[in-house]
Amino acid sequence: MTGVVFVGLGAVMILLGILDAVYRENAIGFLVGGLLGIALGLALRRLGNPHAEPRRAEALFTVALLWILVPALGAIPFWISGNLAPLDALFESVSGFTTTGASVLADFSTWGYGLFLWRSLIQWFGGIGILLIFIVVLPQLAVAGRQLFFAEVTGVQKEKITPKLRQTAAMILRIYVVLTVVCFTVYMATGQPFFEAICNALSTVPAGGLSPSAESFAAYSPVSQWSGTLFMFLAGIGFLLQYRLFFGREVHTLLRDAEFRAYGAIIGVSGMALAGYFFFSGTYGLEPALRHAFFQVTSIVTTTGFASTDFGQWALPAQMLLIILMFIGGTSGSAAGGIKVIRWLIAWALVKRELQRSLHPQAVLPLRVGNKVVSEDALRSVAAFITLYILLFAVGMGVIGIAENNFFYGFTASAAFIGNTGPAYGEFGPFGHYGSLHLASKVVAIIQMWAGRIELIPLMILLLPEFWRRLRS
C-alpha cells in the first residue's frame, strides 16, 4: 500500500518538476522527491502482496504509518527547492497532508508557482484520503483496502452510500472533484487571479486553509469572502449528505439529519452572536460585521483556517468564542477535522440520560441522537476518543506553553494543531507563521497534527504492547 502511494506522489512531483523547469524555477526538489518516491514505491510494491487481506492490527498500523511516511516524502520539495530546514519542511508537509493549514513560511516571495501548487495539492490529497484515492485508481487493491478504509474513519459510522467500497470511493471522489471545480469557477468569477483561485479551491474543499496569499482571504473582494464561507460550510458536511443533496436531490434527508441541524445551528448562532457584537460595539458596519463573523466562525468550525481579517486583533470576547469553536469540528464523514459534531451530540445525550436516570433509577433509557438509537459500543468509542483528545491536547499545551514560555500560546496552538485548524493567536495568528516555534514545540505539533488527522485511535493503539504482539503473530 505504501509503495502504491509513493509511486503516485512521485509521478505528481515529476510533473510539477517539469512545470517548474518550464517556468525556470528551482525544480531540483521535485525531481529528487519524484525519483525517490517512484524508486521506493516500486521496491515496496515488489515486497508486498496486493492480494493479501490485512488483519485489523495490520490495517491500523498501515494507516498510522502512511500518514507520517507520505508527508516525509512530500517534504522533500519544501526542503530542497523551498529552502526550509528539514524539520520545517516536514512541518509544512504534515500540515498540508493533514489539512491543518499551519505554516512556517515567513516570506511568500521566495516560493514559485510549483511549491505553492504542491502545497495546495497535498491538502487536496489529504482531504479526500490518500488511501481512498488509490483504492479508486488501482482496483486491484479494493479487497485488501477495505480494512484500511474503515480504519481511517474510526469512530461513529453512518450508513454507507453503496454496499461496495469501490463504488462508495468513486462517488465520494466524484463529489470532491465536482465541488473543487465549482469552487475554482466561483473564485475566478469573484475576481481571484487564476493561479490563486486554483490553489484556494484545492485548499477550501478539503478544509485545508493554506493560501498562496500571505493575507489569506483578506486579500480578496467581499463577494469572494462570502463565496469562501459557502464552500467552507459545504466542506464541513459529510460526503454521504453531500451526495444525496447534489446527486440525489434529497434535501429532506439533509434537513432531517440531527448532526447537520446541529452543525448549521452552531454556525448560525455563533455567526449572528459575533456579528451582533461587532455591529453594536462599533467594530464594523452591518455587512462587514456579518461577513467577517460568518467567515471566521465557519472557518474555525470546519477547521479550514482561512482568514478574512486578522482575528488576533479582535476584542477578547470575540477571540474566546473562536477558541471555543476550535473544539467543535465539522460533521462526520467530511474533510473537516476536530472532535466532530456527532460526538458532541452523543456526549450531550449521555449527560441527559444520566440526569434522567438519577430521577428514574429503574428506567430503561436508550441513548438517542435525533431518532436513532446509539449503541453502547459507539458510546464507548466516543468516550474514549474525547478522553484521548483532551489528554493529547493537554500534553501538547503543556509542552508548547513551557517551550514558548507563554501559556496562552500553548493553549491556542495545541488546540489548533490537534484539531487541524491551523492558525492560533499572537505571532502564530492568521497573518503570522510558526517558523519561530521552539524545536520541541514543532515536534509536538507534528505529532498532534498527525494524530488529529487519523483520529487518534490508530496512533494511540501503537502504544499498547498487545498490539505489537498481534502484529508479530
Residues placed in the known binding site for K(+): 99-100, 208, 303-304, 420
Q: Where in the sequence is the domain holding 241, given as residue range(s)?
A: 161-338
Q: Confirm whether 426 is domain-assigned.
A: no
Same domain, 311 and 243: yes
- Amino acid found at 456: L
Least confident of 132-136, 242-246, 348-352, 422-426: 132-136
Same domain, 237 and 196: yes
- Residues 100-126 have a mean pLDDT of 93
Q: Rounded CA gap, 466 and 462, in Å?
A: 9
User: What are the start-end ranges of the H helices in 282-362?
Assistant: 286-301, 316-325, 341-359
Q: Confirm whether 343 is domain-assigned.
A: no
The overall average pLDDT reported for the chain is 87
Same domain, 152 and 173: no
Same domain, 216 and 278: yes
- Residues 389-398 have a mean pLDDT of 95
Report the candidate in 24, 100, 36, 104 with the shortest Cα–Cα distance to residue 70. 36
- List, for residues 271-319, the tens digit of each pLDDT value: 999 999 999 999 999 999 999 999 999 999 999 999 999 998 999 999 9
Q: Confirm whether 261 is domain-assigned.
A: yes
Same domain, 47 and 79: yes
Same domain, 238 and 287: yes
Q: Confirm whether 380 is domain-assigned.
A: yes
Same domain, 102 and 151: yes
Q: Confirm whether 208 is domain-assigned.
A: yes
Q: Rounded CA gap, 374 and 358, in Å?
A: 20
Q: Confirm whether 404 is domain-assigned.
A: yes
Which has more pLDDT, 145 or 206?
206
Cell numbers of 309, please? Answer: 481579517
In order of 47, 67, 134, 465, the CA distances from 129 in angstroms are 24, 10, 9, 28
pLDDT at 39: 97
Same domain, 148 and 284: no
Residues placed in the known binding site: 99-100, 208, 303-304, 420
- Residues 377-397 have a mean pLDDT of 89
Look up cell 464507548; give the residue.
Answer: 380
- List, for residues 27-50, the tens digit of each pLDDT value: 999 999 999 999 999 999 999 887
Beta bridge partners of 369: 372
Same domain, 111 and 148: yes
Q: What percent of the chain has pLDDT over 70?
A: 92
Domain C-terminal end among 321, 338, 355? 338
The total domain count for the chain is 2
- List, for residues 309-330, the tens digit of each pLDDT value: 999 899 999 999 999 999 999 9
Q: What is the pTM of this model?
A: 0.91
Q: Confirm whether 298 is domain-assigned.
A: yes
Same domain, 183 and 150: no
Cα end-to-end span (Å), the chain: 20
Report the candidate in 198, 200, 187 with the shortest Cα–Cα distance to residue 226. 187
Neighbours of 394 (CB within 10 A): 12
189-199 burial, b for 16+ CB within 10 Å, e for fewer?
A: ebebeeebbbb
Same domain, 304 and 170: yes
Cell numbers of 356, please? Answer: 434522567
Q: Rounded CA gap, 309 and 292, in Å?
A: 7
Same domain, 168 and 138: no
DSSP state of 157: P
